[in-house]
Amino acid sequence: MEPTVAAAKAAKKGDKAAFGQLFAQFSPEMYRYALFCLGNREAAQDAVQQAALEAYQGIAGLRKPESVKQWLFKILYAVCKRGQREKYEADFVDLDASRELAAEDNAAAVLQSLETAQLLARLNETDRRLLLLSVVGGYSGKEIARMAGMTHGAVRTRLSRALAALREEGEEQ
């Protein structure tokens, strides 16, 4: 049995250490997604922590242990959506956050991250979240559709329109 699946099954049965192992495994990707989605480090950290709390409280309801990563991202997706509605708008990304997004400490990468974040901020929040699940999370259209509660066709259409809008905005700059 794959270690992730074994840990998910153990966590589902109440093993706190197994849940901690799962969260440690996926939290860097979750943070990266939340950072792109919310636009600042504090909001991203809060969102990941809230998703961890909600996942911990609901782990007994996990139906497919082999899909634990998608389940965690579905929770994070909902937390980010609530967070954007309540308080955070991704109008800009501060310089420290853009360094994290670039995962490099050179000026060109930082500037590129800032430009990317500014382009993403121009998308509506649903399209931005869907695009980030695809690009940052690496999820397929079908997986995103399940997480977002949308049809696969709707996700494909929204992703296509979002990418076209980004291309058009990028060409204008």
Residues 99, 75, 51, 156: what is their CA dihedral angle, to the nearest 10 degrees?
A: 10
Does a structural domain hold residue 167? no
Dihedral angle sign, alpha carbons of residues 149, 128, 136, 101:
negative
Alpha helices in 39-67 (DSSP H): 41-58
Res 50 pLDDT > 60: yes
The CATH number of the domain where 44 resides is what?
A: 1.10.1740.10
In a domain, 136, yes or no: no
Residue with tokens 């994290």: 100
Residue 140: other Cβ atoms inside 10 A: 13
Q: Which residue has the higher pLDDT, 45 or 171?
A: 45
What pTM did the predictor assign? 0.65
Q: 84 is in which domain, residue-wise?
A: 1-90
**How much is the pLDDT for 129?**
83
Q: Which residue has the higher pLDDT, 167 or 59?
A: 59
pLDDT tens-place string over residues 1-36: 688 899 999 999 999 999 999 999 999 999 988 888
